[in-house]
Amino acid sequence: NAGVTQTPKFRVLKTGQSMTLLCAQDMNHEYMYWYRQDPGMGLRLIHYSVGEGTTAKGEVPDGYNVSRLKKQNFLLGLESAAPSQTSVYFCASRVMGNIETQYFGPGTRLLVL
Amino acid sequence: KQEVTQIPAALSVPEGENLVLNCSFTDSAIYNLQWFRQDPGKGLTSLLLIQSSQREQTSGRLNASLDKSSGRSTLYIAASQPGDSATYLCAVSGVETSGSRLTFGEGTQLTVNP
């Protein structure tokens, strides 16, 4: 199993450009998450999904959109990138149940100029 | 709104020392508390998960305790090694979100010197 993979690993954008980050998991997990991590801060939840075709807002959803068309994939979109979106983005997944841990991808480093 | 705080923000110790990392949370209505490890430039790896009905969990040289009523958890690392150097994050799963989401602390950056 590859676990949770993220594409791309690193990207530089200009302000106003758009892009999509891809998260894929091969563990048949129901739940998937997108977080951002900024220096000196813990992870903050952007959006999450509790199943195929469903999405929900997290703590910092503004400026991002998501889609979960297939169970194994969770896409994070930036329609018009801003310098404040410079961050490291992590995807995670887990099985259903309240006592289950999350499995994290390696992260995508995004720089918006 | 749940808030999670970790103290200290950074810690440097000599190899072989026993150490304690602290985590506190404001809302005691949790399903579980987890400790993660993050190496530089990498994702998070789960170390220990303590269910709300439990008081502690152990894995090798790691021991995590939970005092839900006081909103505190500690991660004890015995006989620290340079390979333990990493950032350690605490996260809680709250009842208010039906356990579907984690709220993270800011992390403690640990350096173990040879």
Residues of chain A with pLDDT under 50: none
- List, for residues B54-109, the tens digit of each pLDDT value: 999 999 999 999 999 999 999 999 999 999 999 999 999 887 676 678 999 999 99
CB B22 within 8 A of CB B4: no
Q: Report the pLDDT value the prediction gives residue B96, as an integer from 0 to 100.
A: 67
Distance CA A93, CA A85 (A): 22
A61 touches chain B (CB under 8 A): no
Task: Decide the pairing of beta strands B4-7 and A103-104.
Answer: unpaired
Question: Residue A52 and residue B69: Cα distance in Å, rounded?
Answer: 37
**What pLDDT does residue B99 have?**
65
| C-alpha span between A111 and B20 (Å, rounded) | 35
Q: Do B102 and A102 touch (CB under 8 A)?
A: yes
Contact present, B30 and B95 (Cβ < 8 Å): yes
Q: In this complex, which of A45, A48, A105 lies closest to B43 when CB atoms are compared?
A: A105
Identify all chain B residues contacting A31, using CB atoms and an 8 Å cutoff: 100
Write the CB contacts of A89 (distance below 8 Å, at least 6 apart in sequence). Answer: A6, A21, A34, A35, A36, A37, A46, A76, A107, A108, A109, A110
Per-residue pLDDT, A35: 97
What would the two tokens of residue A62 be?
């503004």
> Residue A107, class by beta-carbon neighbours within 10 Å (0-12 exposed, 13-18 middle, 19+ buried)?
buried
d(CA A94, CA A24): 12
B24-42 pLDDT, tens digit each: 999 999 989 999 999 988 8
Residue-wise pLDDT for A21-32, tens only, equals: 999 999 999 999
Give me the pLDDT at residue B45, please: 94
What pLDDT is stored for residue A98 in this prediction? Answer: 64
Across the interface, do B9 and A40 touch by the CB < 8 Å criterion? yes
Query: What are the phi and psi torsion angles at A10 (to 5°)?
Result: -150, 140
Phi, psi (degrees; rounded to nearest 5) at B83: -65, -10
pLDDT score recorded for residue A41: 78
Q: Round to whole Å and give the CA distance between A66 and B38.
A: 25
DSSP string, A28-51: --SEEEEEEE-TT--EEEEEEESS
Q: Is B31 on the interface with A (CB under 8 A)?
A: yes
Average pLDDT in chain B: 93
